Amino acid sequence: MSSKMSKPKKQNKARKFGDMRSLSLRMNFAMTRQNIELIVLTQILLFCLLITYQTVRIEQNAADLLKSDLIVNQIGDSEYQILGYSFIKVEGAILQNNFSFLSDYLPLHAAQRTFYLPKTIQNQQANLFDGEYQVMLAKSNLQILIRYPLKETFIQLIQILGVLFSIQMLFLLIRIVSNFGMINEALSPLAQLTSSAVKLQNELSNVSIIKRNPDIEGFAGALNQLDVTQLDQPIVIENNQKELNELTSAINDLLLRMNQAYKSQTRFVSDASHELRTPIAIIQGYINMLDRWGKQDEQTTQEAINAIKEESEHMKNLIEQLLFLARGDSDTMLLQKEAFNVNTLIQGMIKEAQLIDASHEYLFKTDQETGMRGDKQLIKQVIRILLDNSSKYSNQGEIIKIKVSHTENDVSIMVQDNGIGMKQETIQHIFDRFYRGEAERDVKTKGTGLGLSIAKWIVEKHEGKFEITSRYGIGTFITVTFNDAYVPVDQTKA
């Protein structure tokens, strides 16, 4: 009898552990799919931004060249070339206007424009790098054809997108590996419990005088039905056994923590996607503005170009901060600790801040020279985030105070401003990613909502802590304390 039962028991055990591995793979697949969607969205948005910027730049430069009468007089039946542009006089020619819907928004108004790809020999594919951007317009009683080769533009575009894609693939690989580790670690108690339940169930099946326990069967079946989309549904087993009730309660607590981590990951990806959509909305707003008032207004056109540049820079900063947090979450970032003079570091940062922001006064106060051991560049990043926030949310002319002190073991850095302050409910969430309180949203500032999240990660990595005191309408006082970080100044690097 026992020999007949051994094979089914082994198969049953293998199936149970296979289900655990399947759950781990499904959870990791769901997270990876969300990351891939974010990467694709980022590539599409950046491609649209770069194409828009390059088109405006090409036409703006051509418009600037045509303002010179000397250049216009040089244009004849043969091509006149300058700065990569080719100008030629044409008569009666008509371009296939592929961008008619953008005519009113581009620098060369009332012009025909197209992307031209030269014809090739039969059975040969056209080379995209041989393409050129062509614009035809009337100028000084002349019909002028402007040609601009796009080879260098395409190469730059591919290089930028390629670099970003490589960084994103590295980020994705790190996330996949870290997710496997986190999920397997989280599921290991569940696998052990399932193994124990299966082992107990199989042992009981070998005893002919004892009937199979329906409670254990129901418990193992409930574990087998677990899915990533059902982590918020607790396991319910109707039984009167104290041990199984305690086991079920422990597993439900584990599932609750797993569900919270999964929701946090999902929310983070969703928020990041939302933030990356914002630049497109801003560009659309400037297009609408051009449609209403800027068709013949060069100042409005330049304002739109500046907005595109600003949104590209904002997107770059957002992606850099997301990658920083991703490396932090996966615990792949190592601290480069060294002993340095905190006073010297802050004095240098005050000079930088005064050059960038002349609308505020920065006051550094210290009664003693202070040295500390830590990652100098990361500590500098924390201070810069705090100073930047104080500057954003303080009126012009206000004083921003910085103070450094130390005890026998600890180092404290304090930043104080007389800005808009924060309400109590806002303070509880300021370290949440992408969070901005109602008062902060009323202030017209540009930010990603990730600065304090990064600062908190850095401080906690140094085993430090934040202390925040703020009153709405009065100002904010932030103290960062680094425990066991103090070193005498004579032991620091110059």
Residues 427, 304: Cα–Cα separation, whole Å? 36
Residues 326, 424: Cα–Cα separation, whole Å? 29
User: Using 50, 70 and 90 to split pLDDT, how confident is the model at 189?
Assistant: low
User: Using 50, 70 and 90 to split pLDDT, how confident is the model at 202?
Assistant: low
User: Using 50, 70 and 90 to split pLDDT, how confident is the model at 251?
Assistant: confident
Q: Among the ranges 117-126, 240-249, 260-269, 389-398, which has the highest mean pLDDT value? A: 389-398
Strands 399-406 and 361-366: what pairing? parallel
pLDDT beyond 60 at 299: yes
Domain assignments of the chain as residue spans, ordered by start? 1-332, 337-491
Summary count for the chain: helices (H), strands (E): 11, 13
Residue 367: both structure tokens together: 């009664």
User: How much is the pLDDT for 158?
Assistant: 86
Q: What is the mean pLDDT of residues 373-389?
A: 91
Condensed to tens digits (0 to 9), the pLDDT of residues 214-248 reads 555 555 555 555 555 555 666 665 555 555 566 66
pLDDT beyond 70 at 49: yes
Residues 113, 105: Cα–Cα separation, whole Å? 13
First vs last C-alpha separation in the chain? 81
Give the side-chain half-sphere CA count within 13 A for 266.
Answer: 12
Residue 488: both structure tokens together: 């005498």
pLDDT beyond 90 at 291: no
pLDDT beyond 70 at 307: yes
Give me the residues paired with residue 338 across strands: 374
User: How much is the pLDDT for 437?
Assistant: 64
pLDDT beyond 80 at 289: no
Burial 239-274 (b: 16+ CB within 10 A, else e): eeeeebeebbeebeebbeebbeebeebeebbebbee
User: Using 50, 70 and 90 to split pLDDT, how confident is the model at 9?
Assistant: very low
Residues 241, 366: Cα–Cα separation, whole Å? 65
Residues 152, 372: Cα–Cα separation, whole Å? 49
Superfamily the domain 337-491 falls into: Histidine kinase-like ATPase, C-terminal domain (3.30.565.10)
Residues 97, 404: Cα–Cα separation, whole Å? 64
Tokens 């070339």, residue located:
81
Question: Among 468, 452, 33, 41, which residue's Cα sits nearest to residue 275?
Answer: 41
Higher pLDDT, 289 or 473: 473
Residues 96, 116: Cα–Cα separation, whole Å? 9
Condensed to tens digits (0 to 9), the pLDDT of residues 397-447 reads 899 999 999 999 999 999 999 988 888 888 888 888 777 665 555 555 666
Is the Cβ–Cβ distance between 307 and 73 less than 8 Å?
no
Above pLDDT 90, what percent of the chain?
A: 16
Condensed to tens digits (0 to 9), the pLDDT of residues 62-121 reads 888 888 777 777 777 677 888 888 888 887 666 666 666 666 678 887 787 887 777 655
What pTM value is reported for the model?
0.46
Strands 371-375 and 411-417: what pairing? unpaired
Tokens 């600037």, residue located:
64
Give me the residues paired with residue 422 across strands: none
Residues 476, 104: Cα–Cα separation, whole Å? 47
Q: What is the mean pLDDT of residues 155-173?
A: 85
Residue 92 C-alpha from the chain's centroid: 51
Question: Is residue 356 exposed (0-12), middle (13-18) or buried (19+ Cβ within 10 Å)?
Answer: exposed
